[in-house]
Amino acid sequence: MQIRENVSLKALNTFGLEAKARYFCVLRKLGGVRSIMQWAAQHPDLPVMFLGGGSNLLLVDDFPGLVVHVRLLQREVLGQDQDYVYVRGAAGENWHDFVRWTIEQGFAGLENLSLIPGTVGAAPMQNIGAYGVEAKDCIYEVQALDWRTGEIREFSQAECQFGYRDSYFKSVEPGRWLIVTVVFRLPRQPQWKMDYAGVREQLEGKTLNARVISDAIMNIRRSKLPDPVEIGNAGSFFKNPVVSPLQWANLQAQYPAIPGWTHGEGVKLSAGWLIDQCGWKGQRDGDAGTYDKHALVLVNHGNATGQQVWAFAQKIMASVQEKFGVGLEAEPNIIF
């Protein structure tokens, strides 16, 4: 295990922001974790951050502690019962490649989550979701290492406490658990989810299977979202806010066109719509801006700093709060 100093994270975050890790190491084998933990124990004042594909991060400043880049690789079909097939992916596997691998094996369930950047290990962190499907719909078990004790524990789906872009690992005990593997339970009789914007149209006249749906989702995503290779971003920058039925009624009275969906006891609003209504689509402040096709996506046009992107995000939050009385919450992890 090699711990390097002052390592640039520019190539390791999809915003393409320049920020340095004070200390940095790569975890390729689980056996290597002991020596990293020993090193961390000798430096108890330093924070530790696990890094996957860096696609859900905003690095506002240099990271003053140890970054552990998780590169554990393995894919495995575990077996099947009457209704499901069980597959396991190690945390460092590329998410999209893993999804396509399950499809190549003849399995369905993850196709709507095609082309989401990042790793298998980060998928449970914020319960990734797209096109009417969330990772929790297929996650059976998460194996994680307790960074305090080094013990490995299996979390059942219920124990992961998944919510909208949320989980136990993200909100209840952030930073404590290093996710090592994820087991997915994929239905042998798949039910295709096509009711999300544009999906059905893409599939018209085609014989449905997981690969065809995955291809359609990839086409839609490519037409809507900026490719981080070309323009730095972290996908949707804000969560869709949930308001009370009373606030929803007031908003509807004032803005009849406002979109909203029932969500538990409340109503989920479209953060993109709110931001768009405040005139932010395609705006920029230096190299920090919003994507011109999608106001919800903040972008780095080239040489923005993390501080500039964060300052721009805060201006958006303030204007949505002022116009609609609705607070926005950042979806990526903001690292100061």
Site residues, ligand FAD (CB under 6 A):
14, 49-57, 70, 91, 116-119, 121-123, 125-126, 128-130, 178-179, 225, 228, 233-235, 333
Task: Compute the distance between CA of residue 287 and CA of residue 72 in angstroms, rounded to an integer.
Answer: 34
Annotated active-site residue 331? The verdict is yes
Nearer Cβ to ligand FAD (70/251): 70
249, amino acid identity: A
Active-site residue, selected from the candidate residues 165, 167, 185, 214: 165
Nearer Cβ to ligand FAD (184/324): 184
Give the length of the chain.
336
Active-site residue, selected from the candidate residues 55, 114, 167, 236: 236
Task: Compute the distance between CA of residue 70 and CA of residue 228 in angstroms, rounded to an integer.
Answer: 20
Nearer Cβ to ligand FAD (87/128): 128
Q: How far is the CB of 279 from ligand FAD (least distance, A)?
A: 23
CB contact at 8 A, 319 and 328: no
Nearer Cβ to ligand FAD (121/306): 121
Q: Count CB neighbours of 132 within 10 A.
A: 14
Q: How far is the CB of 177 from ligand FAD (least distance, A)?
A: 6
Instruction: Determine the 3-state secondary structure of 156 from DSSP.
Output: strand
DSSP letter, residue 188: S
Task: Compute the distance between CA of residue 144 and CA of residue 99 in angstroms, rounded to an integer.
Answer: 21
Q: How far is the CB of 163 from ligand FAD (least distance, A)?
A: 12
Task: Quote the distance between the C-alpha of residue 153 and its chain's center.
Answer: 23
Tokens of 20: 């340095």
Helices (H), 12-81: 33-42
Helices (H), the chain: 33-42, 95-104, 199-203, 210-224, 245-254, 271-277, 306-324
Instruction: Determine the 3-state secondary structure of 218 from DSSP.
Output: helix
Q: How far is the CB of 73 from ligand FAD (least distance, A)?
A: 12
Nearer Cβ to ligand FAD (194/319): 194
Tokens of 143: 């194996």
Cα–Cα distance list, 148 to 151, 200, 278 (Å):
8, 47, 45
Q: Which value, to the nearest 10 degrees, does the dihedral of the CA atoms of residues 26, 32, 34, 39 take?
A: -40
Annotated active-site residue 236? The verdict is yes
Nearer Cβ to ligand FAD (108/128): 128
Annotated active-site residue 230? The verdict is no
Q: Which residues are known catalytic residues?
A: 165, 236, 331
